[in-house]
Amino acid sequence: MMGGEGQGPKAPAPSPKPPPPTPYRGLGGEFEGRAIVSPGPPLKTLRFLLTGPPRCGKTTVVQKVAARFPGQAAGFYTREVREGGVRVGFEIVTLDGRTALLSHVDFPGPFRVGKYGVNLDNFHRVALPALEAAPGVELIVVDEVGKMECFSGQFVAAMERLWGQPLPLLITVAAKGGGYIAAIKEKPDKILLSVTPANRDGVPKLILDLLLRQNPAI
């Protein structure tokens, strides 16, 4: 028998593993590490996603950025509503000063998160108009993409429209949750930053520096 006769063809050599994605490193090579994750080259449109557990400081970061941003910003943030020192709900506050109760312990169903009933009519009336990419707006703030907000299909659709605009976004997103909460954190072309009590004082400057470096004309 000839050498090798009766043996099958050699198995092809395994393909080399593709190189790991290059971490997004800001506009000048900074911010290396795992705190900010986005594969590929520097982003043409800055989209910041701030995540972390409740009371880590996400809303405070958003408020500081909005207050110090030299251009025109739109959007909304949420704040606690307290009665007698006890938290009883959450309120939507737009950057142009409109307010509405998003949730309250006294609101009835059907939409509930824990002890809070959620009023989507209030949310649609006040929050959604603040997410329009109007002429002159140079930053849109969304605080937050959470369980209450994601009861609204109109809100999810508005977020998807915003993501398709060449407009900087500053978004807070709940640390836990499926559905759109998970989906937005999986999107490409974003900067995902975990806010902690240790880093939250420096995060507003980091965001503002990046925004101004990308658009010095603001």
The token pair at 47 is 């989209």
CATH for 181:
3.40.50.300
pLDDT of residue 42: 65
How many domains are there within the chain?
1
Q: Is residue 209 part of a domain?
A: yes
Q: Is residue 8 part of a domain?
A: no
pLDDT for the residue numbered 101: 98
Q: What is the pLDDT of residue 32?
A: 34
- What is the C-alpha separation between 109 and 97, in angstroms, rounded? 27
Q: Is the peptide bond before 186 cis (omega within 30 degrees of 0)?
A: no
Domain interval for residue 42 = 36-75+133-214
Whole-structure pTM over 0.85, yes or no? no
Tell me, yes or no, whether 55 lies in a domain: yes
Q: Is 141 part of any domain?
A: yes
Q: What is the pLDDT along the chain (218 residues), one digit of tens a residue?
A: 444 444 444 554 554 443 333 333 443 333 433 344 444 556 789 999 999 998 899 999 999 999 999 999 999 999 999 999 999 999 999 999 999 999 999 999 899 999 999 999 999 999 999 999 999 999 999 999 999 999 999 999 999 999 999 999 999 999 999 999 999 999 998 999 999 999 999 999 999 999 999 888 88
Instruction: Kindly compute the dihedral angle of the four CA atoms of residues 129, 180, 208, 33, in this order, to the nearest 10 degrees.
Output: 180
- Distance, C-alpha 64 to centroid of its chain: 16
What is the DSSP track for 127-194?
A: TGGGG---TT--EEEEEEESTTGGG-HHHHHHHHHHHTSSS-EEEEEESS-SHHHHHHHT-SS-EEEE
Cα–Cα distance for residue pair 131/159, rounded to 1 Å: 8
Residue 53, in any domain of the structure: yes
Establish if 80 belongs to a structural domain: no
Task: Give a yes or no: residue 61 inside a domain.
Answer: yes
Q: Rounded to an integer, what distance in angstroms lies between the CA atom of residue 45 and that of residue 164?
A: 10
| DSSP label of 98 | -
Q: Residue 124: inside a domain, yes or no?
A: no
